[in-house]
Amino acid sequence: MNKQLQALLDSYEERILGQGTNLRLLLCAVLTGGHVLLEGVPGTGKTKIVRTLAGLLGGDFSRIQFTPDLLPSDITGSMIYNMKEGSFQTLKGPIFTNILLADEINRTPAKTQAALLEAMEEKQVTIQGDTYRLPDVFFVVATQNPIEFEGTYPLPEAQQDRFLFKLAIGFPAFEEEKQVLKNDLHHVFAVEDIRTLLDLEMFIFIRNEIAAITVEDKVLDYMMQIVRKTRESDYIRYGASTRAAISIGKAARAWAYLSSRQYVTPDDVKMVAKPALRHRIQLAPHMELEGAAVDQIIEELVGSVPVPR
């Protein structure tokens, strides 16, 4: 692994305790140009996780608090009339950044959600007929609260498919949570004290290195068998799309790079399969009635696919 990237990861894990796997998966997503849906109850540090990563990367950071009255133009920007100069000017919105935190994305109507998701897919924004490219490094992390549904607008499955990963942010272990409390009370690792450890130029270089990592044909077969199993299982109503297979392939490359390897193994695929699939499949009605968990079904499904030798 690149030394600067290793230093970034070490600092990240030192500042955000109890979320080691999720931090690596988040880094995998940004390195592959994907986007992440973070789900967790209030107070689990979702905003801090994203803000810390933005500080370590040194890119521009924007945060949008999604509310029912938020308009698409509040995200993308608008055309305004400058009375002093007697002409119209384009006012770019907060989406023109490197890392964007879309806080509580399920609290805004579908039209505003679609404006963000279109930009995520196309990497460009149209304002009054003029098209503007977003930065080469453009990463969206959207958060949502899994316990409150009143006054929310759940993301449709087709829109959730735009996210590379869905990460579940839980509570850390006792000792780690105690250390989080101690750090906060003593103002250790304040967000404003974050030092940039990886500039965007090096970041793009690392992204190109990841794209060159080898994926053997038998590993590609393994990925496809997992994805196709989701379409054949009686436990699943709607299986994963082809985009899911592409997401697993890209993420497995990044995980291999973080593991200091130049090739992808079946273990890399297993590691990224759950976060890449949990938001892309819908359980069959009888499984939902039984209270089955999506993660458990994915684990059983992946375990049923023969591992290539």
Residue 62: its pLDDT value, please? 93
CATH of the domain at 254: 1.10.8.80
Single out the residue in 212, 228, 248 at which a domain terminates.
Answer: 212
Q: Is the pLDDT of residue 149 over 70?
A: no
Going by the DSSP 8-state scheme, the letter that residue 172 receives in this structure is P
Q: Rank 76-80, 94-98, 235-239 by mean pLDDT and report only the highest.
A: 94-98
pLDDT reading at 192 higher than 70: no
Same domain? For 125 and 30 the reply is: yes
On whether both 134 and 264 belong to a single domain, the answer is no
The range of the structural domain enclosing residue 222 comes to 213-309
Q: In this predicted structure, what is the pLDDT of residue 225?
A: 96
Q: Is the domain of 185 the same as that of 42?
A: yes
Looking at this protein, which amino acid is placed at residue 176? E
Among 212, 231, 257, the domain-final residue is: 212
Per-residue pLDDT band at 264 (split at 50, 70, 90): very high
Contacts 24+ apart (CB under 8 A), 227-235: 227/277, 229/301, 229/304, 229/305, 230/277, 230/280, 230/281, 230/301, 233/297, 233/301, 234/284, 235/283, 235/284, 235/287, 235/292, 235/297, 235/301
Tell me what percent of the residues of the chain surpass a pLDDT of 90.
55
* Residue for token pair 């498919």: 161
pLDDT at 204 over 80: yes
148 pLDDT higher than 90? no
Indicate the average pLDDT of the chain: 90
Same domain, 80 and 190: yes
pLDDT (0 to 100) of residue 70:
93
Q: Are 121 and 158 in the same domain? A: yes
**pLDDT at position 158:** 78
Asked whether the beta carbons of 36 and 29 are under 8 A apart, the reply is yes
Residue 218 has a pLDDT of: 96
| Number of separate domains in the chain | 2
Residue 115 sits in a domain of what CATH number? 3.40.50.300
Mean of pLDDT values over 113-119:
86
Q: pTM for the whole thing?
A: 0.90
pLDDT for the residue 307: 94
Q: What's the pLDDT score for residue 89?
A: 87
Please check whether residues 223 and 242 belong to one and the same domain: yes
Looking at the fold, whether 268 and 305 belong to one and the same domain comes out as: yes
pLDDT of residue 8: 92
264 and 184 share one domain: no
Question: Which residues lie below 8 Å from residue 134, measured CB to CB, with a gap of 6+?
Answer: 95, 96, 119, 123, 124, 125
- Flag whether pLDDT at 139 surpasses 80: yes
**Residue 119 clears pLDDT 90, i.e. is over it:** no
11 and 157 part of one domain: yes
| Per-residue pLDDT reduced to its tens digit, 23-69 | 999 999 999 999 999 998 888 889 889 999 988 988 889 999 999 99
Residues 220 and 297 in one domain: yes
* Same domain for 251 and 128: no
Residues 271-292 have a mean pLDDT of: 89
Q: How does residue 130 score in pLDDT terms, banded at 50, 70 and 90?
A: confident
Q: What pLDDT score does 35 carry?
A: 95
Q: What secondary structure, in 3-state letters, does 80-132 show? A: EEECCCCEEEEEECCCCCCEEEEECHHHCCHHHHHHHHHHHHHCEEEECCEEE
Other CB atoms within a 10 A radius of the CB of residue 161 amount to 18
For residue 254, the Cα-to-chain-centroid distance in whole angstroms is 13
Residue 119 shares a structural domain with residue 241? no
Cα dihedral sign, 202-208-209-211? positive
According to the model, what pLDDT value does residue 201 have?
Answer: 87
Q: Given 212, 245, 269, which residue is the final one in a domain?
A: 212
Supply the pLDDT for residue 59.
Answer: 82
User: pLDDT tens, 2-25?
Assistant: 788 999 999 999 999 889 999 999
Mean pLDDT for 215-230 is 96
